[in-house]
Amino acid sequence: MEQELEILQGAVSAVVYQNYENGYAVLRLNLGGGQTVTVVGTIPLPAVGERLMVTGKWSNHSNYGRQFEAEFLERLMPQTSLEILNYLSSRVVKGIGPRTAARIVELFGDQTLAVMEREPERLAEVPGISREKARKIGEEFKLHVGIRQIMEFFALHHLSAELAVRVYKRYGDSTMELLYDDPYLLMDEELNASFGAVDQFAISLGVAGDDPRRVEAGTLFELSYNLTGGHCFLPEEKLIAATARLLQLETDEPVKQGIARLLEADRLVREKLAGITVIYLPELHEAETECTRMLLDFAGHSFPEPRGLDKQIQAIAREGGIAYSAEQTQAIREAATSGLLLITGGPGTGKTTILRGILELLGQNQLRCLLAAPTGRAAKRLTEVTGEDASTIHRLLEAGIDPATGKMFFARDAENPLKCDAVIVDEMSMVDVSLLYSLLQAIPAGKRLILVGDPDQLPPVGPGFPFGDMLRSGVLPTVRLTEIFRQAQKSLIVMNAHRVNQGEMPDLKCVSSDFFFMRRSSEEAVCTLIRDLCATRLPQKMGIPTDQIQVLSPTRKGAVGTVNLNRLLQAALNPPSPDKKERAYGDFQFREGDRVMQIRNNYDILWKKPDASAVGAGIFNGDVGHIQTIDPASETMTVLFDDRLAEYDFTQLGELEPAYAMTVHKSQGSEYR
């Protein structure tokens, strides 16, 4: 016989566990009369002291015993002074701790929450609370209540608590009205919810299968989804078929009509390429066509050859103790006279040596040069090998978030260009067409642009492969480096990389160089080997510190994917300890001392130097750091990225992932010892 639903009502006495990503929680509920029970289920942001009415069923857990599984939830704000005190003391509202809570409740009693909601300015009557702090507390309380309401609504529709926070911060009190009007706004590039989840949400709200909003959202999703494969456009017929299949429509007519509406509204662009009709997103069509125009403009500009150029190059080589090859000399000469120069070559072909020579030459001619790379790790490496300051392209362009729209923008553009005579970008194979467009707009006309990269590396994660396209075009000034230098020839890593590029079998037998091949017969044995190499063999036998060992995998999933390897390596390299605080997020338990990586650009997060000598904003996709502190009381975690200490709210932990192991794609631009 199926168990009937029961209703329990009481005050939260303890929060045992909560998952900020999906809203799942385990808590203790005081029913009164000395009776306290364990309640589990989707209960976003529970707070000690708040009253809940939960509907669900009893169950017996094999480890934790009898517990109540909540299926439906209604929040009842705390009523008595004691309940309100407990509620506010649990730090649910930023700016209120136990002492401040006690002073507020002492003055306002059981009317405290009403005052905070309707008359927050009265909080300034409490000793120690200024008018400004009263205003901020009122705003935080309103934000907290609003977010929890959206979280509960999202939980009913299987949308994440993290998404609820971002949506409410974006739309505020208008969130519900806007979602009912068009649920597909959750697919906005800043909110970035998955189409599958949003589509199920929309259908549950009554959106029909061929509803124009659904068809248009599905069409835009198909184009956006293909960006992850590097495609800037899709053939129209392929787009129609793929969208109809995605939406499970009986006919493709609604999709054709949807494309027509989107074209009419300038949300798509149609063009003929090689006799095929293709569809672009407008921003990518503009980026692709404008990049082509601007690159040709740079290439069409040249500079007079500096007097005594050959002697300058010889002197630079002599002072550096270097004998430039003919290819290297050609590259340095062309950098002095060309408006645009592409430099390309595989590992060990001397790209770094050329960069140092070009920088010295430009400096001797009083030309200011800016150095950049796509990722933080690549920029750091560029600084190390050249001895000059380098930054990410985003930082060079002064990326930020527009508070009015919530969207990313670059402060440096055509109207506010970079102040320089030349720009050098390394690791160009990682730069997608959108980022290249932003960069080109910010470089003043008549300046030098030098782009350096290896076309045999993986293409960008974003749309397009502009560096490869430039090289294949054959119309832009290019120096191709083919000679592998003697020092690089001693590296089996370098030689095997060239063998693979040439379609040859790499040398797997040598055991006395920097490349080792270790064969194991099972995934389990491979995992054991990786753990032992990182934890004991490499540190003990070769003196390599564990924090200088990076494990790479081609995939995230599977036994030897990064997800499983990170759990395994965390247990081996940073095991649990009474003096190390932890915080669960999703399926991973973050721990003080963990190596972590930022997985999306955050232009707002603040950082400071450990010695407080400088402050700034922005941590970027691919930046790697170590967790310094986890503070459950303030619900924050600090991470040290090289010399930048950043603080994360627990709701932001979805921006981080463990980095003991990372995918090959994520590692591009890095150089490991």
Residue 276, pLDDT > 70, answer yes
Q: State the pLDDT at residue 583.
A: 92
Q: What angle do CA 453, 455, 459 make, to 5 degrees?
A: 100
With a cut of 70, say whether residue 488 has pLDDT above it. Answer: no
Question: Is the confidence at residue 485, as pLDDT, over 90?
Answer: no
Residue 55 β-bridge partners = 7, 72
Q: Which amino acid is it at 425? A: V
For the domain bounded by 288-483, which CATH number is listed? Answer: 3.40.50.300
Asked if residue 487 has pLDDT above 70, the reply is: no
pLDDT > 90? residue 625: yes
Q: In the numeric block, which tokens belong to residue 546?
A: 């564990």
Contact of 633 with 89, CB cutoff 8 Å: no
Choices 1.10.10, 1.10.1740, 3.40.50, 1.10.3470: CATH for 182-277:
1.10.10
- Could you tell me the pLDDT band of residue 261, with boundaries at 50, 70 and 90? very high
* Average pLDDT score, the chain: 89
647-664: average pLDDT:
92
Which candidate, 65, 28, 29, 25, places its Cα nearest to that of 43? Answer: 25
CATH 3.40.50.300 intervals, the chain = 288-483
In this prediction, residues 621-640 reach a mean pLDDT of: 91
Nearest-CA neighbor of 436 among 618, 288, 297?
288
- Closest-CA residue to 378 (of 601, 671, 673, 672): 671
The predicted model gives 347-367 an average pLDDT of 90
* pLDDT reported for residue 321: 86
| CATH level 3 topology of 6-156 | OB fold (Dihydrolipoamide Acetyltransferase, E2P) (2.40.50)
Q: Report helix, strand or coil for 422.
A: strand
Mean pLDDT for 329-344 is 95
The answer to whether 416 touches 390, Cβ cutoff 8 Å, is no
Neighbours of 538 (CB within 10 A): 16
Q: How many CB atoms lie within 10 A of CB 556?
A: 17
Domain with CATH 2.40.50.140 in the chain: 6-156
64-85 per-position pLDDT tens digit: 889 999 988 888 878 889 888 9
**Residues carrying CATH 1.10.10, the chain:** 182-277
Given a cut of 80, whether residue 386 has pLDDT beyond it is yes
